[in-house]
Structure 1
Amino acid sequence: MERCYKSGGNLMPKRDFRNSNLFNDRDDDEETAAGSWLDAHSQIYGQIQAREAQIERLKRISIFEIAPDFAQPRRAIPSSIRQMWDQTSQGVGNLLRLWQQAAQKERGDVFNLGAYLSGTESERTESETSRYNPGPIEESLMKIVMLAASIRRDGLTNPITVVPIQEGKYQLETGERRWLAHHLLYIWFNGEDGKPDERDKWEKIIARQVDKVDVWRQATENNARTDLNAISRARQYAVLMMNLHGQENFAAFDAFSNEQDYYAQALKKKSAPYGKGEDLLNAMGVKSRSALSRYRLILSLPNEIWVGGDDLNLPEELLAKLASMPSKEAIAYYRENVLGQNNSPKAKPSLPEQSPGTKRHFLDMVRAIKRAGHGQDKYNTQALKALRELRDWLDEQEKRISSYLD
């Protein structure tokens, strides 16, 4: 059967130009010309067929047939909430209920989930927003809630990506928040208490099926998100490093009771394999190897700070500085300067005095630069280190501020 394509709304047969001779002449280069036509034909229609194949792999899959990738560097669920989950897709509804209860306890007030999902919750004024500082549990839940409200209003614009693991079962590669948002819509709009029954609408989600998990594809999507925190970036670095050095040389994620230990395996390798350093920099979205060194440093944090740094979205500069301290000293600083006496986060955790971007760091850098010179190895080293730190800090600030203009 002859394939057809659309042109101006009409169906037209796909032409095969391989035997055509537009100039109605023949010469000694006929075979070359025929080969060129064949190449062009294959290239043009091969690309179309590849695109069609990709489109055909989009399908609607039950949210209950999809399991998350627990090794995914980017986490949507806070660790304290994740611990209460049985880690099954059938248990997501209960997870979301517990999450809402924890958010209410954290804010000391009712978290009106239905008002947000139905679009009846009024927007805060700018002055109200500046006065209100949501805790980490509420803030993380709100990202799921607002995404769910957006999907209900406008539809899902970006399909999730899944990998088949057995008949009727899939593993999530990208799109954990979108998957959770569908679960939230499914359990909330259940036809009870005067709410419409929309479960048939949200029980399935549009997914792109791929053959296997690609950590580089994950990294591309993760880096497109402006809210990827420092711990997530350290995880991302670790996953890519283990992939570059051969995943088979490292233990699997479920071999560890503590997730940090899985990522810390990357510390066994000091650098990317020869010729792969640029790929790693590009995938991480950074310009210098000193930024990669900071992610390596963060992998060695005491576990208490690792977990807190992830849940509280602590700044990279602070975590890197804490990772460079002795463990007991770092934990003491974290508890005193980041957590309050009741172990709740302070509004704005302070940086150690010598972190890039602080007055102390700048003055020390200027002092080292002035003393640098021939034979001044100590000050030369200090000046270069401080300059690299400041340059990386400025790059990060530029990237952060530029994201506000997108």
Structure 2
Amino acid sequence: MSDDISKRRLGRGLAALIGEMDQPLPSGDTQRTVNPDRNVPIEFIARSARNPRRHFDESELQDLAASIRQHGIVQPVVVRTVEPSRYEIIAGERRWRAAQLAGFTEIPVIIRDVDDRTALELAIVENVQRSDLNPLEEALGYDQLIAEHGYTQNDLGEIIGKSRSHVANSLRLLKLPDPVRDMLAQGSLSAGHARALVSTSDPSGLAKTIVSKGLSVRDAERLAQNDIKGQTEPQRQSVPETKDSDTLALERSLTDALGLDVKINHKSSGGQIRISYKTLEQLEAVCKLLERA
């Protein structure tokens, strides 16, 4: 329990740290600059392979580089020391890239002595607050914290200031096949479109239909629901009672709420609810919810 409490405190501290040292200046405000620890030669700074952000728009980088040439780097890049006189970026890779395009030989930095876990948390918080991550990058960042550092979905919600259901819905996107992930990363599909496809029989084919026809999220949900209903048709001869649309909708609603796979087997005389989990942390989270009910 003490570890859970420390993670929640750390999450609030991370958000405060980003707010204090790495927020963009309000328009016209020339006084609220953040003083760097030092200026560092740009070749001594490397990007982090753990940064959840992978895509940087080239035209936006060029615009930022033009601004940096005129005004300099107003907000320092946040780094950590990896070896003597060598640094790794925690937050601010976009400014680092633009500074290189602008021809700068050194940039202002703020140095933070943090471990791998905290560096990843800082990178995720910074990018989520700025809405810089596409939905797939966000989901991969959450998954990395869970896999490498044992975080629960509740922990992540505390850290990033989002609901646990937001984290659960983000993680569901990782169940999609690569072609759909690519469309999501490129912006052809929204997160709402993609979530509707998770339980379908042919996510890639349906995704192409959604993109080619320009369907709304609501249209995509109807398309997915029809596909799911079609999956139950071959079972009707051997299964006395099939699931109606209300039961399927309730299953999806509970799956989204818990972030776990939920199945409902309903009969006239009663029924069962089955919740599937993969880790002890997920089981513990379900138990806590049931105890509070």
Task: State whether structure 2 residue 220 is matched by structure 1 residue 307.
Answer: no
- Please give the root-mean-square deviation of Cα atoms over the aligned residues, in Å: 3.6
CA separation in 2, counterparts of 1:76 and 1:208?
24
Alignment-mate amino acid for residue 249 of structure 2: Q
Q: In the TM superposition, what is the alpha-carbon distance from 1:220 to its structure 2 partner?
A: 2.0
Q: 1:183 to 1:219 in 2, by over 3 A?
A: same
Tell me which of 193, 218, 240 is aligned to 2:123.
218
CA separation in 2, counterparts of 1:210 and 1:303?
36
CA separation in 1, counterparts of 2:216 and 2:140?
24
Name the counterpart of 1:103: none
CA separation in 2, counterparts of 1:334 and 1:60?
47
Name the counterpart of 1:238: 143
Name the counterpart of 2:211: 338
CA contact (8 A) 1:219 1:283 kept: no
Q: Greater RCO between the two (CA within 8 Å, min separation 6)?
A: 2
Q: 1:380 to 1:219 in 2, by over 3 A?
A: same
Cα deviation, 1:118-151, whole Å, max 9, x if unaligned, reads xxxxxxxxxxxxxxxxxxxxxx112212222222
Tell me which of 177, 200, 204 is aligned to 2:106.
204
Task: State whether structure 2 residue 43 is matched by structure 1 residue 64.
Answer: yes
Alignment-mate amino acid for residue 239 of structure 1: Q
Matches within 5 A, 1:95-110: none
Q: In the TM superposition, what is the alpha-carbon distance from 1:184 to its structure 2 partner?
A: 0.7
CA contact (8 A) 1:76 1:177 kept: no
Name the counterpart of 2:134: 229
Q: 1:224 to 1:56 in 2, by over 3 A?
A: closer
Q: 1:382 to 1:325 in 2, by over 3 A?
A: closer
Task: State whether structure 2 residue 257 is matched by structure 1 residue 379.
Answer: no
CA contact (8 A) 2:36 2:76 kept: no
SS where residue 173 of structure 2 aligns? helix
Alignment-mate amino acid for residue 89 of structure 2: L
Q: 1:178 to 1:278 in 2, by over 3 A?
A: same
Alignment-mate amino acid for residue 281 of structure 1: G
Q: In the TM superposition, what is the alpha-carbon distance from 1:235 to its structure 2 partner?
A: 1.6
Alignment-mate amino acid for residue 294 of structure 1: N
Name the counterpart of 1:281: 157
Name the counterpart of 2:75: 158
CA separation in 1, counterparts of 2:188 and 2:159?
21
Paired residues in the alignment total: 205
CA contact (8 A) 1:230 1:314 kept: no
Once structures 1 and 2 are overlaid, which stretch shifts more, 305-314 or 157-166?
A: 305-314
Name the counterpart of 1:172: 89
Task: State whether structure 2 residue 168 is matched by structure 1 residue 293.
Answer: yes
Structure 2 regions of 5+ residues with no counterpart?
1-20, 22-33, 227-242, 258-293
CA contact (8 A) 1:161 1:209 kept: yes
Q: 1:143 to 1:285 in 2, by over 3 A?
A: farther
CA contact (8 A) 2:82 2:88 kept: yes
Alignment-mate amino acid for residue 223 of structure 1: V
Q: 1:349 to 1:177 in 2, by over 3 A?
A: farther
SS where residue 323 of structure 1 aligns? coil
CA separation in 2, counterparts of 1:158 and 1:352?
41
Q: In the TM superposition, what is the alpha-carbon distance from 1:325 to its structure 2 partner?
A: 2.5
CA separation in 2, counterparts of 1:313 and 1:66?
33
Name the counterpart of 2:18: none
TM-score by length of 1: 0.44
CA contact (8 A) 1:223 1:285 kept: no
CA contact (8 A) 2:173 2:198 kept: yes
Q: 1:381 to 1:304 in 2, by over 3 A?
A: closer
CA separation in 2, counterparts of 1:240 and 1:316?
20
CA contact (8 A) 2:50 2:120 kept: no
Q: 1:384 to 1:312 in 2, by over 3 A?
A: closer
Q: 1:378 to 1:308 in 2, by over 3 A?
A: closer
Q: In the TM superposition, what is the alpha-carbon distance from 1:181 to its structure 2 partner?
A: 0.3
Cα deviation, 1:170-229, whole Å, max 9, x if unaligned, reads 22111111011001111xxxxxxxxxxxxxxx1101111122342222222112113432
Matches within 5 A, 1:255-270: none
Name the counterpart of 2:261: none
TM-score by length of 2: 0.58
Matches within 5 A, 1:141-152: 141-152=58-69
